[in-house]
Amino acid sequence: MQPNSITLVDVSVSHGADEVFSSVSLTVGAGSRIGVVGANGVGKTTLLRVLAGLEEPERGRVRLSPPGLSVGYLPQEFDLGNRSGGQAARARLAELFRADHDLYCLDEPTNDLDFEGLAWLERLVQGVRGSVVVVSHDREFLDRTVTRIVELEEGRQRLREWPGGWSEYEAARTRAREAQYRRFEEADERRREIEALLRARRGQARSGTRLGKQTGGADRRATKALKSKVRQAERSLERAEQVEKPFEPWELHLELEPARRGGDLVVRLERAVVERGGFRLGPIDLEVHRGDRLSIAGHNGSGKSTLLGALTGALPLAEGARQVGTGAVFGELKQARARFAVDEPLVEAFGGPQEQARTLLAKFGLGADDVLRPARTLSPGERTRAQLAWLSAQGVNCLILDEPTNHLDLPAIEELEAALAGYPGTIVLVTHDRRLLERFGETRRIEL
């Protein structure tokens, strides 16, 4: 084995009756920089936990060289205390990297980091002595930090490896998928041609048999020849190439439509001051108008989430005034995703008629089994999708989005981008996703 390496050999993991992945093999050599991608639920976190020694495989082996290889693990979620999500994330990352491990397993480490924090993390990953395996939905981060992509394929329970960062992976995967479709369609067309020929020859053989019985002699010889042709066609069908059809995953199709159009003014803050513990934001004067696409930027701890709370009225003002425009309906996606962190089954926590709730949640990939689970047992990505489903049911005309891409997989992020691009209402956005910000089409930016 390579020194300072970890190897998975034919590893399989199941959670209850559900197979997460099967016969997966992977070598993480010294100095590796690997990005792990795939849809939510395919086993990315499980793969990290197996590498970190926190979960035992059902079958297969995990080989460490040397046996005492030091592995550090950053979970996707951790207690925040009194700190903002970004402050807590930086503290945990700094603590982890100070330990000088041989391998770092990082689960969504970019969540909650501001742009300065992202640059800091990128320098850490690029400069650390040990290997890094990172699960991330941040396409820019993957482009800047990894040299190999590991994809856990949805519906296949298997792993594929691709050289390069996200952009190289995306282009190569598209080419491979298109080539696979061409091979599948060509093979399928060839099989249909052979099957049609076989049907025709079997029909001819049956007709020839009946005729031969009546006339004998030469016709029987012709019938024998037809039967020979049938056997030839059957052998051709057996030898025809079997090409697997590319897996077509479920796709999230977000529909965000305001129920009604509000007035020109959505919300106004006048000399507004908000106090949270020892933190004070303001005084701030801000007007948000119908159709605005407002992004709010600033360092972690600068008060971005606090300002969002002041705009929605979730946080009371210590000073100043807040005025809400006629017909304004706010819908907020909070960073903590706490709305569904409850013990009730998801369908009950969602509210409203249960059949309507089930139908809407199913559109967001939360099926019959998911809606009966205690809402708090949903994964972070599932809670995010549940809250987006809830927002879509409210017909809001002003979306307040605090790090909306956190915990979403990449296909869902791309669907969110498309939904926001077509949304005719007002949007106030806090995000560290640089690709989303590029495509958001902001009309104004507020720097705190």
Q: Where are the domains of the chain?
A: 5-156, 174-239, 265-447
**How much is the pLDDT for 384?**
81
> Which superfamily does CATH assign the domain made up of 5-156 to?
P-loop containing nucleotide triphosphate hydrolases (3.40.50.300)
pLDDT of residue 256: 64
Question: What is the pLDDT at residue 270?
Answer: 95
Q: What is the pLDDT of residue 272?
A: 93
Predicted local confidence at residue 152, as pLDDT:
87
What is the per-residue pLDDT for 294? Answer: 94
pLDDT number for residue 212: 55
**Taking the domain 265-447, which CATH number applies?**
3.40.50.300
Distance of CA 258 to the CA centre of its chain: 25
**pTM of the predicted model, to two decimals?**
0.70
Q: Which pLDDT belongs to residue 255? A: 64
pLDDT at 119: 92
Confidence (pLDDT) at 370: 85
pLDDT value at residue 222: 64
Parts of the chain with a pLDDT under 50? none
Q: What is the pLDDT of residue 409?
A: 79
Same fold, 5-156 and 265-447: yes
